Amino acid sequence: MKIAIMGAMVEEITPLLEFFGKYETIEHAKNRYYTTSYKGMDLVIAYSKIGKVNASLTASTLIEKFGAQKLLFSGVAGALNPSLKVGDLLVATKLAQHDLDITAFGHPHGYVPEGSVYVETDKALTSLAKKVAFAQKIPLLEGIIATGDQFICDGVKKEWIHTTFNADATEMEGASVAVVCDALNVPFCVLRAISDAADMDAGFSFDEFLVSSAKESAQFIIAMLDEL
């Protein structure tokens, strides 16, 4: 079984590379892919760089070039749901692109013809995440993630995304990874630890908590691997 683990920023995969210790580095398409093995599984790990286009390229490469059969995304997100605090973990049930807008033609926000507003994640991986959370007594919210090529740091925009997509958290890659995995029939999950509240203080909070929240998420992904 070959598993891809993907983040968007170097901070999101560094805890993984530190944990696995030994890995090979392969350069491809202006990026680096790290391969290793763990408990009989072949792993390929990469960070995409920020945003939906980079994330789509990396997810596609992990699957089409490296042969990943499952994809686990690990990283940080801004909270939209007021019950989510810095460090809390969220596993996505479905994801939408909040900045995809052809409402001029009567379509709902996030919709493109022949697509859908939401892409659902793999139910077996979500169940696995819940099992790990229960066993480790870690609170884990199942919720909706809204993705866009924007760092959200504004109360009005935050509220719009929250209400329009019923979304619990926002980030900049998940829904594009979801589109790729769904199209290529690869089971995937998106796990995020909260780094900020997507409000006017989000930039400061993100800078302060990126490393610690990214580590929370990565550690949880390792615990999931132990149960895969």
The residues that are catalytic are: 12, 196
| Minimal distance, residue 91 CB to ligand ADE, in Å | 16
| Binding segment toward ligand ADE, per CB under 6 A, in 26-34, 35-43, 97-105, 145-153 | 145-153
User: Counting contacts by CB under 6 A, is residue 110 touching ligand ADE?
Assistant: no
* Single-letter code of the amino acid located at 198: A
User: Counting contacts by CB under 6 A, is residue 76 touching ligand ADE?
Assistant: yes
| Minimal distance, residue 9 CB to ligand ADE, in Å | 9
User: Counting contacts by CB under 6 A, is residue 171 touching ligand ADE?
Assistant: yes
Which one, of 40, 17, 1, lies nearest residue 221 by Cα?
17
Q: Measured from the CB atom, is 111 or 206 closer to ligand ADE?
A: 206
| Minimal distance, residue 78 CB to ligand ADE, in Å | 3
Site for ligand ADE in 200-219 (CB under 6 A): 202, 206
Tokens standing for residue 21: 């210790």
Rounded distance between C-alpha atoms, residue 146 and residue 77, angstroms:
10
Q: What is the 3-state secondary structure (H, E, C) of 187-213?
A: CEEEEEEEEECCCCCHHHHHHHHHHHH
DSSP string, 150-198: S----HHHHHHHHHHHT-SEEESSHHHHHHHHHHTT--EEEEEEEEE-S
Site residues (CB under 6 A) for ligand ADE? 76-78, 151-153, 170-172, 195-196, 198, 202, 206
